[in-house]
Structure 1
Amino acid sequence: MPTAPVSTRTDLHRRSLLAAFRWMAAIEAVTWAGLLVGMFFKYVAVGDDIGVRVFGPLHGVAFIGYVAVALAAWYRLRWGLWTGLIGLAASIPPLGTVVFERVAAARGLLDPAARAEADRSA
């Protein structure tokens, strides 16, 4: 049975990790925002906790998923200490994961192959 070349498999793994990281960053941010809206309605507006009961567990799962994917990205994409720690800390403030993902993508931290290509052409 033929197998894909190692570089192709590695590229596939990186692209899958990149897609998972981007999705988890977005999901974590959306559930964080939903939880904040739910807390507003519970404590300020109406006193009903349905938003917290729905988004609390969803955000908990999304938070754990984001941390797991961020740890995998830190290892597989060979981020430095500060990049990895900032990536993990981005899960704490609302929408911080999306901000980190955008900044990391703009700096080439999410696609080492593209960053190496840019460095060679510069």
Structure 2
Amino acid sequence: MEIFKVASQPMANVATSSHAQSSTQTREVERTQIQQDTTRNLTEQNNETLNEKIKEATEKLNRQMEDLGTSIRFGYNDKIEAMFVNVLEMKTGEVIRKIPTEQAMKLSEYFREAVGMLFDKES
């Protein structure tokens, strides 16, 4: 019987230490998940604030360009998160040149979507 006692003691210690290690790992995973969620929320808030500031800046630039009597207008594309410049015909308001071009903006939007599908942040 004493042999059985001695043989069972190390197993009890192993089971206890295994359980403690498992709960420690679970807590670490939970902490990591909370940190990731917090970081993601802060990043989204920062992006929204940045987008609003950029839109305000483009509106201010456009007002200044009108005051100067120029035919240059600034804009912001939400889909590619980039600014663009339109050069307009003064009399008709027709777009003479767009920088970057409409094709480049569409291509950039396409690549953003493709990269988003390949490297989905949610998964």
Q: TM-score scaled by structure 1?
A: 0.38
Structure with more contact order per residue of length (Cα contacts < 8 Å, sep ≥ 6): 1
Q: TM-score scaled by structure 2?
A: 0.38
Bigger-Rg structure (1/2): 2
Structure with greater strand percent: 2
